[in-house]
Amino acid sequence: MPRTVKPKSKTKDFVPSLTLVLFEEPEVYLHPPQQQELARSLRDLTGTTNWQVICATHSAHFVSRNTNDISSLISLRRAKREIKVFQIGDRDWSSLVSNNNEIHKILGRSRTHESRTRSEGTDSEIESFRYFIWLNPDRTSAFFADHVLLVEGPTEVALINRLIDERKIRAPRGVYVMDCMGKYNIHRFMNLFGRLGIPHSVLYDDDANRNEHRKLNELIRRSRHPHMTLEVEAIPGDLEKMLGVRLSGRRDLKPQEVLHCYERGNIDQEKLGAFCKTVERCLRSDIVSSALKEDGR
């Protein structure tokens, strides 16, 4: 009986191949430097053809090592019995960059480093670089907080955390106070956190609405996310004026000078109490759960 010969295919058979790595809590039992090294190794795999890595993590170090690609980050938030998913796609990123660049209309093209850096790359690239530099493991702790309080700088972070620790500010669990490295960056973090589903409030100096600060204050208020921005509070004048303290004027010494005034009892108790109440209005626990519940995603 003659043998049947199978005809050869004229086209190459398509044999799809994909290695999918699902890694739950890769940070377990690893010290922070080891977590960072593992995060780098996993990123190397994603550069290999037909490899995809998905990690479910509670590690700020893992998040920080991947902030050069914001779209790769997916935030899951529990709203009662429902899990909401937040991710920044191309359209969201373009909108975010456009909103962030509103600051240039306030500063003007001739001011400071802003005009210089813009000439060295596209707006999208510059914003991506900013977030990668700024979102270190400390700031990416905000991704796991129940409520983030955005403040201008390290002085507010130091004082508010001390007052929370000493129970002078009543704060719900899961609060993270984040230094935005100046008032001019607050809207950038509002835009990012709003799109990633991170509930946040804002506390800033209104600087008596002097000069460009009036427009800057308006930009912060306009940057409110309809659900994720829970409260926006302005300190009349600035923190020093509200507390009634006189400082040297050196920005690098401001945090320790304010804490020194507090420790020595040189801050009027009535003024300190007013500051605590202002912070507490930003940290109302009842507004966090309602924010996720009302979000339409």
Could you report the per-residue pLDDT of 145-173, keeping only the tens digit for each?
999 999 999 999 999 999 999 999 999 99
35 within domain boundaries: yes
Proportion of the chain above pLDDT 70, given as a percent: 86
Is the pLDDT assigned to residue 295 strictly greater than 80? no
Q: Whats the size of the chain, residue-wise?
A: 297
pLDDT confidence band for 196 (50 / 70 / 90): very high
pLDDT confidence band for 290 (50 / 70 / 90): low
Residues 81 and 146 in one domain: no
CA distance 297 to 82: 11
Mean model confidence pLDDT for the chain: 89
CATH number, domain containing residue 175: 3.40.50
181 within domain boundaries: yes
Domain boundary among 87, 121, 141: 87
Q: Kindly report the pTM of this predicted structure.
A: 0.87
Residues 278 and 178 in one domain: yes
Is the pLDDT assigned to residue 183 strictly greater than 60? yes
205 within domain boundaries: yes
206 within domain boundaries: yes
Residues 141 and 286 in one domain: yes
Q: Please enumerate in sequence order all residues whose Cβ is within 8 A of that of 133, keeping only pairs 6 or more positions apart, or say none.
A: none
Least confident range from 2-11, 90-99, 132-141: namely 2-11
37 within domain boundaries: yes
Query: 231 near 281, Cβ under 8 Å?
Result: yes
pLDDT confidence band for 18 (50 / 70 / 90): confident
pLDDT at 103: 94
Residues 208 and 79 in one domain: no
287 within domain boundaries: yes
CATH number, domain containing residue 25: 3.40.50.300
Residues 149 and 214 in one domain: yes
Residues 51 and 137 in one domain: no
CA distance 28 to 38: 11
Least confident range from 23-32, 101-110, 287-296: namely 287-296
CA nearest to 163, candidates 92, 86, 259:
259
Residues 212 and 70 in one domain: no
Task: Using the structure block, give the residue that is written with the tokens 């007052």.
Answer: 163
pLDDT confidence band for 117 (50 / 70 / 90): very low
Residues 230 and 169 in one domain: yes
Residues 82 and 139 in one domain: no
Residues 153 and 235 in one domain: yes
Residues 159 and 269 in one domain: yes
pLDDT confidence band for 40 (50 / 70 / 90): very high
pLDDT confidence band for 98 (50 / 70 / 90): very high
Q: Please enumerate in sequence order all residues whose Cβ is within 8 A of that of 68, keeping only pairs 6 or more positions apart, or say none.
A: 128, 132
pLDDT at 80: 76
pLDDT confidence band for 93 (50 / 70 / 90): very high
Least confident range from 40-49, 120-129, 281-290: namely 281-290
pLDDT, one tens digit per residue, over 202-243 is: 999 999 888 899 999 999 999 999 999 999 999 999 999 999
Q: Name the range with the highest mean pLDDT among 65-69, 140-144, 289-293.
A: 140-144
- As for how many domains the chain has, the answer is 2
Query: 172 near 147, Cβ under 8 Å?
Result: yes
Residues 59 and 174 in one domain: no
118 within domain boundaries: no
Residue type, 93: W
Q: By residue range, what is the domain housing residue 46?
A: 19-87
pLDDT at 27: 95
Is the pLDDT assigned to residue 112 strictly greater than 90? no
pLDDT at 110: 41
Taking residues 30-55, what's their average pLDDT?
91
